[in-house]
Structure 1
Amino acid sequence: MATENLTWHSTNVTRVDREKLLNQKSKLLWFTGLSGSGKSTVANALDKSLNESGKLTYLLDGDNVRCGINSDLGFSIEDRKENIRRIGEIGKLFIDGGILLLACFISPLKEDREIIRKTLGEDFVEIFVDCPLEECEKRDPKSLYKKARAGEIKNFTGITSPYEKPENPEITVHTDTQSIEECVESIKAYLGSDTTEEDHK
């Protein structure tokens, strides 16, 4: 194994120290849903709201990550699994850094999301951005559904590749019936004071 000769190096400054400095409890807020469901829109609005309330946050968007660290991956099931595995590892680093991380990824397979949940435990908050496929196709902001229906894109989630809905997400928002503001308030209501470090002393 590649890790057999490695030893984890412990640091003097810990996650607890960083959370205390930032006065917040770090978590990974994982937005999952179909393309066009509104994951990035809701996450961006939540990111802004949390930032304005004095929280240190960072937003990882699926397309942005694929333009950089995951630019070597395609959209086969195997590549999708590796994409999510890497994001889970990145998420662990952000949490250790005391940061509230918002991650927007279709992440179509329950198994992959559950691996991250088991790794992070209560630090993982699954947010299902629920929107009917028909509505997502109507929106189609990047014309991806149109291309997928025309056979120009292979392995497209919801059309030629499966999407497995979360069975027990911590939060579900419905972007076809709720406004963006309502979705944000719903998420913040769930989080409550849980993102404030003082409550965890």
Structure 2
Amino acid sequence: MSKATNITWHETTVTKQDRRTKNDHGSCVLWFTGLSGSGKSTIANAVSSALYRLGIKEFVLDGDNIRHGLNRDLGFSDDDRKENIRRIGEVAKLFVESGTVVTTAFISPFRADRDQVRILFAESEFIEVYVDCSLEECERRDPKQLYAKARRGEIKEFTGISSPYEAPEQPEITVRSDQLSVPEAVDQILEYLRVKKMI
């Protein structure tokens, strides 16, 4: 596929800062990463609900949901996983430009791919949230029976079993989801956002 070359970035009249001023809060991406079953989607949705109740403009980008539409053409090879994350990073950037606090819930197993997304944002706009949960606990939960299928060889290239997961080395937030309740995890994340004056 040939790449477009005759294109120019068009600056909009209403800026990101204009939107933040109108909203009376900051905008950022909360990038939830962790193994399948660690609680990423559950916590991301709970954070989004809490922000909504506070009057914060918010939105959730969930890995499974995105693969039903925007990324339905992608599989789970290493290259497809990289492209999946690249596209989500670009979409998340648009939400941040719109003045929204966007939560993303993706395994995003490769550190280099997450770092490539990070550089799309200003320093304070990308908040990596590592949902830290042991593989044993994730397998015990196995809400979608994916680990069981992977162990039987029915799912190839499954993160944590037949494909690696590279944990963040210096995430902004680490949530120990095997030790905290969902409300406790939400409180931890909201407190971080308050300290950083995002909300």
Q: TM-score range by the shorter chain?
A: over 0.9
Q: What is the TM-score when the length of structure 2 is the normalising length?
A: 0.96
Aligned to 2:198: 195
Of 64-73 and 183-192, the range deviating more from structure 2: 183-192
Q: CA deviation at 1:11?
A: 1.2
Aligned to 1:176: 178
Query: Is residue 39 from structure 1 mapped to residue 46 from structure 2 by the alignment?
Result: no
Q: Classify the secondary structure of the residue corresponding to 1:172.
A: strand
1:25-58 CA deviation, whole Å, 9 max, x = no partner? 1100000000000001111111111110110100
Aligned to 1:199: none
> In structure 1, what residue type is equivalent to 2:85?
I
Distance 1:191 1:23 in 2: 14
Q: Post-superposition, which runs of at least 4 consecutive aligned residues in structure 1 deviate over 4 A?
A: none
Q: Classify the secondary structure of the residue corresponding to 1:128.
A: strand
**Pairwise mapping of residues 22-61 of structure 1 onto structure 2 (< 5 A)?**
22-61=23-62
Distance 1:45 1:95 in 2: 19
Aligned to 1:6: 7
1:128 to 119, 127, 130: 130
Aligned to 1:17: 18
Q: CA deviation at 1:17?
A: 1.2
Of 11-20 and 105-114, the range deviating more from structure 2: 11-20
> In structure 1, what residue type is equivalent to 2:172?
E
Which structure 1 segments of 5+ residues have no match? 197-201
Distance 2:194 2:10 in 1: 34
Q: What is the TM-score when the length of structure 1 is the normalising length?
A: 0.95
Which structure 2 segments of 5+ residues have no match? none
Q: Classify the secondary structure of the residue corresponding to 2:174.
A: strand
1:5-32 CA deviation, whole Å, 9 max, x = no partner? 1111111111111111111111000000
Aligned to 1:105: 106
Q: Classify the secondary structure of the residue corresponding to 2:187.
A: helix
Q: Percent identity?
A: 55
Aligned length: 196
Taking only aligned residues, the RMSD between alpha carbons, in angstroms, comes to 1.0
Aligned to 1:137: 139
Q: CA deviation at 1:82?
A: 0.1
